[in-house]
Amino acid sequence: MSIEVKVPVLGESITEATVGQWLKKPGEAVAQDEPICSLETDKVAIDVNAPTSGVMGEALVGEGDTVTVGAVIATIIDGAGAGDTTVSERKDETASVPSQATPEPSESDDAVVLSPAVRRAVLEHGIDPTTVKGTGKDGRLTKEDVLAAAEAKKTGTPAPTPAPAPTPTAAPSAAGRNVERVKMTRLRQTIAKRLKSAQETAALLTTFNDVDMTAVMDARAKYKDLFAKKHDVRLGFMGFFTKAACLALKDVPSVNAQLEGDEILYHDYVDVSVAVSAPNGLVVPVLRDADKKSFAQIEKDIADFGNRAKDGTLTMDDMKGGTFTISNGGVFGSLMSTPIINPPQSAVLGLHRIEDRAVVVDGEIVIRPMMYLALSYDHRIIDGREAVTALKIIKEAIEDPTRLLIDL
């Protein structure tokens, strides 16, 4: 009996997705709840799991096709035996390899970006992903790469090189130069539309300031080891800037507001959207009730967002809402920028790289670690005076972190 595989509910207000990759081929055995396909929505990648054990039937849509919630995208020939056998065989393969022989990937592994399906295969077969050559797009590991490596490890033979993924068609040129044509992912298309919409709709303006990072850097140097020992997380800069932003938004509530029709919605809470780099583009998971969280909890949440962005496990709920955004271009070396707001939010704080510069302090020229700050805002509901005041509060709190403790 054939069982239909349908597109699951993708999240509030999201009705369609793009087929990213088929993880199972027709005729392959599948186990119940095993991922058979990945979908790309406007915000995240989602695995479609097998509703039953059996054998993979026909794939009714191709990679890159747009599908809607509830649509039938494949069939599975029902038969628990096939799926169960596959699972037991994999367990036998895993048991035959000493667990201490190969390190498993950790959430903090920055060297290899793994999709959820590939990560599961790596953990199941005890394969070190850094030793396997990926044949997917941009050299990424595919599930087939991991399975080939596991089979080679089992038999003691060199791992066969899987057939490389199809490459985009290149337009030939008489001069011997080529132009590669690659379709934008759904996430990239959504980012483009939202950013362009923000520019066309909002009255965008950016105000700048610079901040002396000496006090924060001294505090980190003094307490980072104790902080890490007690809270099991690194003390970074984001905790300071998040706390400073919360202080400013409480004093200047319009910067934490949003426009809805002819009404302004003021929030008595601060949900900070934190811009995080993911394999398929920039995502902005939300740090909820940031104004009520401790430094340690803020740092833990941000670290968790970064790890889950890399392995593709952020959910729709993680990125829903948000009243203010902080984007740190400094980690990529940016000296200054004019960030674009994330609608329907009305402001975004841009952080940049720290560099030693000559500044005048008490009439003397000294060298200090300085950072440029940028606050882009919607001038329709935020006046220049309010924006400048908010940025000045952030600057003063960073230069004198004691203000964060006594709410000044």
Residues taking part in catalysis = 379, 383
Query: Rounded to an integer, what distance in angstroms lies between the CA atom of residue 173 and that of residue 268?
Result: 59
- Residue 60: Cβ-neighbour burial (10 angstroms; 0-12, 13-18, 19+): middle
**CA max distance for the chain:** 84
Cβ–Cβ < 8 Å for 373, 347: no
**Neighbour tally for 111: CB within 10 Å:** 7
Helix (H) or strand (E) holding 195: helix 186-201
Query: Rounded to an integer, what distance in angstroms lies between the CA atom of residue 2 and that of residue 57?
Result: 8
Query: Rounded to an integer, what distance in angstroms lies between the CA atom of residue 93 and that of residue 104?
Result: 16
Phi and psi at residue 357, to the nearest 5°: -135, 155
Cβ–Cβ < 8 Å for 49, 39: no
Cβ–Cβ < 8 Å for 198, 205: no
Tokens of 65: 């096709």
Handedness of CA 389, 390, 396, 397 (dihedral sign): positive
